[in-house]
Structure 1
Amino acid sequence: MSSNPSSARAASAVPDADRLVVGLNPQQREAVLHRGSPLLIVAGAGSGKTRVLTHRIAHLIATGEAWPSQILAITFTNKAANEMRERVGALLGGVAEGMWISTFHSACVRILRREIAELGYRSGFTIYDTHDSRTLLKRIIKEHHADADGLTPAAAQHRISQLKNELRDADDLARAEGAHSPADAALVDVFRDYDWALQHANALDFDDILVQTVHLLEAFPEVRRRYQRRFRHVLVDEYQDTNHAQYELIRLLATPAEEGGPAPELTVVGDSDQSIYAFRGADLRNITHFDEDFPGTRMILLEQNYRSTQRILSAANAVIGHNFDRADKNLWSALGDGDRITVYAGYSAHDEAQFVADEIRRLHREGLGWSDIAVFYRTNAQTRALEEILVRAGVPYRLIGGTRFYDRAEVKDALAYLIAVVNPADDLAVRRILNVPRRGIGPTTEQRLVTFAAREGIDLPAALVRAEEIGLGPKVTGAMTALGGALADARAALADQPLDGVVADLLDRVGLVRALRESQDPQDEARAENLDELLAQLVDYTEREADATLADFLADVQLTAAADELDAGQGAVSLMTLHTAKGLEYPAVFITGLEEGLLPHRMSLDEVGGIAEERRLFYVGITRAQRHLALSMAVSRTAYGQTNDQIPSRFLDEIPEDLLDWRQRPEEVGGVRALGRGGRWRDAEDDVRHDGRGRRALAGGARPTHADHPGRRPASGHRWANEITTADIPRGQVADLAEGDRIRHGSFGEGIVLQLTGRGAKQVATVRFDSGARKKLVVAVAPIERA
């Protein structure tokens, strides 16, 4: 027994380093142990990348190669950061305290809180969310009369965000080749005034958090050197999703500020096959050219999948193999072959949804929980039919992506009060709360207050305290001074009183909760409960972070996304877009809408690399499935008030036939017949390559097929359903079909016609076959004859 129990406990706090590699496969082990050069871990879906990252961090600390405070690990979501922190903590115990494991934005906020004075800001800066930024832009656009030039707040916000993520400012925009329209010209002035207004308010928008950190490290080498000395290891997760600003941040941290100077060792984990955020500015080249950016890179492939059965992985490998801008790898599993992939072609979106509902109920009867099942789709517009049928079928479901907690008006009002306390210079926050709850401060009074503050050179809260000098009526003057006094008292109380108590007293004093409680609107009670929840969260936060300030709490709130709060345990089927599905996994997955124009989406057809990104999106969807995977489509779909014939997705053709279990093929319900090899779908769109000047060309000199020119008839002579006329219907066969007639189908056998709708080439027959199956068939093209 040790004579010094406390030292024995300290010695046992760090586990034996050798134990940290037990149970890892050879590639995972190599990734944990590698030292001495930049490391790129190409981690296939479900290959245990989080385990590798956490064990690498723990191993660095256990071997004494780095203190916890010398580790910077960056993820893209708070959920991923929390999971990584918990896992490292479980491996190391209390020794893990002090590590920087956070999102890009959270890490940058920590740096800026300490260093932003170098850039002319104060450390108590406010972070503007999307709504705040748009409100400010709306005001500036109105001041410039830029709305008359066609510039909208949403468009300006999107373009400014793009430019900032490319590390470009208003001057860069002005120098760029041309303002092609009045709106482009107006954007330059709006962009300048927007940035000026942010700085005047001592505020940053979300993009600025990254941009200003990059500027700080570029402009002040001594700051850069300080963080390079602080961090001995920088690790980045999901590197394929980084944009240009994030790439520059990592480059500045991981390369010496001067020849021979210190620099952390860089490890990145990513998978080019799962890069699906180009629309947000993600640059695939960051990972595909990593070895060029960081010479001497060691690349390790993680190909063993611990999530899915082999048939699912074989389908994923076959699909993604059609992309050429990727590291060559093939996922494999030791979990067995598993079931074949179910595929179904419905007559309509509702028919497709009925299949999904029936399969979900079957899986549930066989013992799968509702929350073990997910339905993915390319666009939110696809949910209407799914929701309707699931409700009818009694299947509990939830849509992932509703109104976020922090986007609710009453929560934003409460946060604006807190911002006004922390950062009185933030006019946007103060103006939001002037008349919430109602206290008689209308637009005219607000403008007089703003004018007074500008004339006196003071912020708005100080102007509220001096409201008697403005010359307004006694009632509104009293309301304004009371509000100003409440903000000033709260600011003073933060110096020596508990944070949660100060906030609760402030919200009570200004009457925010009371106004909701006393309202006659039944929904206001739920809104008051949301404020109670906010206060409860603040209490929890202060218990976790005893020394935290109100500014720290606000930063934590403003960096938290609703997706990070995903709760998979509510006993309901999850419905979400394929983009939302990234990073999740379910025992059973349905991917709907496998049609040209949906997946791949029509917007991708003319974009350089668009089809490749859509294929990666499909790959991500496939690899979410653990045991059961179903793919579905509709041969007709209603959009914008019109019903259109749909062509099955080219991606279906890329999955080997022996992996598929077709429950119903497109041609069996009057859809387009199969083309190409083995009677399956085939087009040449996937042979399209780009010649470097943005022009599309076909590999090998091949000529375009019907897929490149949808209006042309295929060389095979096959006719699409929408090209067939009544003249094409064989006379004397089924042209005069009537309800009650018996017919014979090539696949389903004999049955009776229950109902006929439409006429001519668009006539649809509802048939009950002797097997019990009920199908809808386009009479003109279905393989049927009279029985």
Structure 2
Amino acid sequence: MIDYFQRGLNNLTQNDLLNGMNDKQREAVVCTEGPLLIMAGAGSGKTRVLTHRVAYLIEHQNVNPWNILAITFTNKAAREMRERIDRLVEYGSEAVWVSTFHALCVRILRRDAEKVGFSKAFTIGSPSEQKTLMKHIVADTLNLDTKQYDPRSFLASISSWKNELIEPEEALLQANAEANPMEVAAARAYQIYQDELKKNQTMDFDDLIMKTIQLFESSPETLEFYQRKFRYIHVDEYQDTNEAQYRLVNMLAQGFRNLCVVGDADQSIYGWRGANMENILNFEKDYKDATVIKLEQNYRSTKTILQAANEVIEHNLNRKDKTLWTENESGDKITYYRADNAADEGYFVIKNIQKEIREKHRSYNDFAILYRTNAQSRTLEETFVKANIPYKLVGAHRFYDRKEIMDILAYLRLVANPDDSMSFARVVNEPKRGIGATSITKLQNFADMHGISLYEAGKSVDLTGIPARTAKKITEFCDMLKLFHQVQKQATITEMTEQILSITGYQKALNDANTLEAKGRLENLEEFLSVTKEFDENWDPEDEESDPFTDFLADLALVSDQDGVDQNDDVVTLMTLHAAKG
């Protein structure tokens, strides 16, 4: 094992590490003890400060890499931070925990989920599975009209409650007190939803943080373990944390109180999804001994843009005083064009892109178009198609949302967690096996009556009243899942996926169809196999706490829309302002 404290030569001397930084950036890097609030304006080099601070702790403060935690909001930001730290630190950077909030909680729960009543192989439910489950709850369990009581609205309410760490019982009490029929119905659905997730051994994204907090509250020794482990904690975009994320960070930081948060109240845009800007504004109240450092020098923008931004920001009511400045040149004036209609706006955008390409030899990937909501992209897309301009829509139909990919992932989830009834229901008749919706409903009713999963109900299918011919098909399906579970113990993800595609007949069904659509689906499955191969090559079999199937599925469940943006594609990027911020 490498001795980090006797390694002889550091990758960077302290002067090298701080070289090229302004005074405030240097101050933030070397201020390592106690609570630290870095108020970082846009383009002020906050990522550089964070990564150099981590490197400084390892290289010049003799801190063990595994005692450092850095939390960001997106996988892409986490990857960028990881790559920068790797370049700065000679040894041990791989031991630094750099992750999103959700990835951090998955890693913790994989170790101790049993303490909150879940298997370590729990499944992370996808948004589509959540919608399917909620639609079933609203229509079939609560006997409500899904047009009047929108399942998506219920899921949004549940997400808000979870972000505020409100349990179903408390949500129902609040709803009853307000005498709001819609909220009462949502609260009742919340309880049933949570019961169904538990039965499926599944958590949704909001559960990942909420259950980790419950784990820490119910198991002080587990919390103490992570408090001792994470001696130095860094949190990026602190202004966008919600109540659950705020609570998680503060619980972890109570051990050594070396908490460094970076953010800017002027950049808070996620209030609509539960972010509480007061978290950053109240940091000095939470930590009376906090040091506050402002990063106000901007390296990204021109003087003209900063002047405009500062004049807009001055109107914000709740903010800490800060003025961005730059040594960059004044630059061009900001152009404002008021279009007559959406089509006129689209043509104006295209005309300017074509002009820049023609006169300044720019590429399509030099351009991005931002809008407030996804619905606003339609007219722009139509205009781009007519003008034969290539574009990529961030937040559109993702690779992992395609039917064939969701099907194969459902099979893999069943391999890791046979009690995942949502995945069972998805693929019990994929490819077609002659198991109709009526039979699946009977099986579901039997499972509900006995409080068991669909897989367990399938093993007792003779007691369900399902016709013998269909019952035989269900038994064969359950036997196949049992076989997969045995094969999984010795197989890689790629080998297991290939076995599933072959034994289930999924691949044969697509080959037999011999349509352009089927060929496209086969190509997508080939692309999926390249993903599994990459995972197999990078997975560490020496990690005793790691399971390849649960790790692989968790990695894919945490993929975001922004992670699919390829910077090398020569296309114009279209996205919402919120996606761009992410």
TM-score (norm 2): 0.93
How does 1:36-51 map onto structure 2 within 5 Å? 36-51=33-48
State which of 334, 345, 370 in structure 2 corresponds to 1:341. Answer: 334
| CA–CA distance in structure 1, aligned partners of residues 257 and 498 of structure 2 | 44
Taking a change above 3 Å as real, the CA distance of residues 270 and 450 of structure 1, as seen in their structure-2 partners, is same
Residue 183 of structure 1 and its aligned partner are, at CA, apart by 2.9
- Correspondence for 2:436: 442
Please state whether the residue corresponding to 2:479 is helix, strand or coil: helix
Pair 438,38 (structure 1): closer, same or farther in 2 beyond 3 Å? same
Deviation per CA, 1:634-691, whole angstroms, max 9, x where unpaired?
Answer: xxxxxxxxxxxxxxxxxxxxxxxxxxxxxxxxxxxxxxxxxxxxxxxxxxxxxxxxxx
- Corresponding residue of 1:552: 551
Q: Which residue of 2 aligns with 1:18?
A: 15
Give the secondary-structure state (helix, strand or coil) at the position aligned to 2:266: helix
Match of 1:109 in 2: 106
Residue of structure 2 aligned with 1:150, choices 109, 125, 148:
148
Whole-Å Cα distance in 2 between the matches of residues 414 and 557 of structure 1?
A: 12
Alignment match of 2:527 (pick from 528, 533, 543): 533
After TM superposition, list the pairs within 5 Å mapping 1:283-682 onto structure 2.
283-365=276-358, 366-451=360-445, 459-464=453-458, 467=461, 475-547=469-541, 548-582=547-581
2:253 counterpart residue number: 254
CA distance in 2 between partners of 1:151 and 1:111 (Å): 36
* Distance (whole Å) between structure 1 residues aligned to residue 292 and residue 345 of structure 2: 43
- Deviates most, 280-289 or 339-348: 339-348
Structure 1: how far apart are the matches of 2:146 and 2:136?
14
Q: Kindly state the Cα deviation for residue 36 of structure 1 after the two structures are TM-superposed.
A: 2.2
Offset of 1:158 from its aligned partner? 0.7
Change (3 A) 1:122 1:299: same
- Aligned residue for 1:12, secondary structure, equals coil
TM-superposed CA distance for 1:156, in Å, is: 0.9
- Bigger helix share: 2
Q: Residue deviations 1:199-230, cap 9 Å, x none?
A: 12211111110111111112222211111111
- Secondary structure, aligned partner of 2:513: coil
SS in 2 for 1:568: coil
Alignment-mate amino acid for residue 113 of structure 1: R
Unaligned runs of 5+ in 2: 542-546
**Structure 2 vs 1, CA of residues 7 and 453 (structure 1 numbering), >3 Å: closer, same or farther?**
closer
Question: Residue 279 of structure 1 aligns to a residue in which SS?
Answer: helix
Paired AA for residue 149 in structure 2:
L
For residues 581-619 of structure 1, what are the alpha-carbon distances to aligned partners after superposition, in whole Å with 9 as ceiling and x for unaligned? 215xxxxxxxxxxxxxxxxxxxxxxxxxxxxxxxxxxxx
Shift of 1:180: 3.0
One-letter amino acid matched to 1:443 = A
Could you tell me how far apart the structure 2 residues matched to 1:148 and 1:580 are? 29
Closer/same/farther in 2, CA of residues 395 and 428 from structure 1, 3 Å limit:
closer
What is the distance in 2 between the residues matched to 1:185 and 1:354?
Answer: 48
Give distance in 2, aligned partners of 1:327 and 1:148: 45
Once the two structures are overlaid, the 10-residue window that deviates more, 127-136 or 472-481, is 472-481
Deviation at 1:412, TM superposition (A): 1.1
Q: Which structure is richer in relative contact order (CA contacts within 8 A, separation 6 or more)? A: 2
Deviation at 1:480, TM superposition (A): 2.5
In structure 2, C-alpha distance between the alignment counterparts of 1:342 and 1:186, rounded to whole Å: 49
SS of the residue 2:292 aligns to: strand
- The question of whether the paired residues in 2 share the 8 Å contact of 1:421 and 1:487 is answered with yes
Higher mean C-alpha displacement, 100-109 vs 304-313:
304-313
Map 1:154-303 → 2, pairs under 5 A: 154-176=152-174, 178-255=177-254, 262-303=255-296
2: CA distance, partners of 1:80 / 1:480: 45
For 1:703, the equivalent position in structure 2 comes to none
Matched residues, number:
573
Unaligned runs of 5+ in 1: 256-261, 584-787
Report the Cα distance in structure 1 between the residues aligned to 2:152 and 2:242, rounded to whole angstroms. Answer: 21
CA distance in 2, matches of 1:467, 1:388: 52
> In the superposition, relative to structure 1, how do residues 444 and 33 fare at CA in structure 2: closer, same or farther (>3 Å)?
same
Distance 2:184 2:243 in 1: 25
Displacement of 1:6 in angstroms is: 11
1:398, distance to aligned residue in structure 2 (A): 2.6
SS state at 2:44 partner: coil
Decide whether aligned partners of structure 1 residues 380 and 509 sit closer, same or farther in structure 2, where only a CA change above 3 A counts.
same
Code of the residue aligned with 1:544 in structure 2: it is N
Alignment of 1:81-92 (within 5 A): 81-92=78-89
Instruction: Please name the residue that 1:749 is paired with.
Output: none
Report percent identity of matched pairs: 42
Letter in 2 for 1:196: D
Q: Secondary structure at the match of 2:262?
A: strand
Paired residues of 2:70 and 2:97 also in contact (CA < 8 A): yes
Q: Is the 8 A contact 1:31 1:41 kept in 2?
A: yes
Provide closer, same or farther for how the CA distance between residues 149 and 443 of structure 1 changes in structure 2, counting only shifts above 3 A: closer
User: In structure 1, how many angstroms separate the alpha carbons of the residues matched to 2:101 and 2:190?
Assistant: 24
Shift of 1:23: 1.4
Deviation at 1:456, TM superposition (A): 7.3
In 2, distance between residues paired with 1:226 and 1:158? 34
Distance in 2 (alpha carbons) for counterparts of 1:212 and 1:464: 30
When residues 178 and 569 of structure 1 are mapped into structure 2, their CA distance, relative to the original with a 3 A threshold, is same
Larger Rg: 1
Residues 444 and 350 (structure 1 numbering): CA distance in 2 closer, same or farther, change over 3 Å?
closer
